[in-house]
Amino acid sequence: MMGLLKQFLRFSGAGLASACGHYGLLITLVQFGGISPVPASAAGATLGAAINYSCNYRFTFRSTRDHSESVPRFLAVAAVGLLLNTLFMWVGVKIAGIHYLYSQVLTTGLVMIWSFFANRSWTFQALSTPDHS
SS3 per residue for the chain: CHHHHHHHHHHHHHHHHHHHHHHHHHHHHHHCCCCCHHHHHHHHHHHHHHHHHHHHHHHHCCCCCCHHHHHHHHHHHHHHHHHHHHHHHHHHHHHCCCCHHHHHHHHHHHHHHHHHHHHHHHHCCCCCCCCCC
Q: Are 10 and 57 in contact (CB under 8 A)?
A: no
**Tens-binned pLDDT, residue by residue, of the chain (133 aa):** 788 899 999 999 998 999 899 999 999 999 999 999 999 999 998 899 889 899 999 999 999 999 999 999 999 998 999 899 999 999 999 999 999 999 999 998 899 899 999 999 999 987 654 444 4
Give the global pTM.
0.71
pLDDT of residue 128: 52
pLDDT of residue 49: 84
Q: Are 85 and 107 in contact (CB under 8 A)?
A: yes
pLDDT of residue 127: 63
Domain boundaries along the sequence of the chain: 10-123
Count of C-beta atoms within a 10 Å radius of residue 118: 18
pLDDT of residue 131: 45
